Amino acid sequence: MSRRKVSPSEALALVHEGYTYVDVRTESEFADGHPAGAINVPWLKDGPIDPEPNEAFLETMTASFDRSARLVVGCKAGARSAKACDALEAAGFTAVVEQRAGFDGTRGTFGEIVEPGWKRCGLPVAT
């Protein structure tokens, strides 16, 4: 079965239906702005030079949520959220939805925005 992937607007509708938005960007990215009401469980953590793997990601998720919890997972542009969704599904989470455009948007070969993300869609943002 393939994972459900939704646009930012569809993700907001799911949040209104009771899904929890899990933002998997780093803590510093999250602090700069995030979907209103989102919680932050970073897939990568801020490192001294570059982001580093967050070895506690699954431990944090399983301690925070039942495996049947309805989750929308998003990042900046879609790559980290896809990996986080893979890991969650492998760990037995059954209601994971991927927000495919992330907070900023997916980009094409030359850096152009292909699909606008949460912020570019004008959806509610918190800091």
Please list the active-site residues. Answer: 75
Task: Determine the length of the chain.
Answer: 127
Characterize the bridge pairing of strands 105-107 and 113-116: antiparallel
Under a CB-based contact definition with an 8 Å cutoff, are residues 64 and 58 in contact? no
Q: What is the enclosing helix (H) or strand (E) of 72?
A: strand 70-74
User: Can you list the alpha helix ranges (DSSP code H) found in the chain?
Assistant: 8-16, 27-31, 57-64, 79-90
Reading the block at residue 94, the tokens are 């059954």
Under a CB-based contact definition with an 8 Å cutoff, are residues 87 and 102 in contact? no
Under a CB-based contact definition with an 8 Å cutoff, are residues 107 and 13 in contact? no
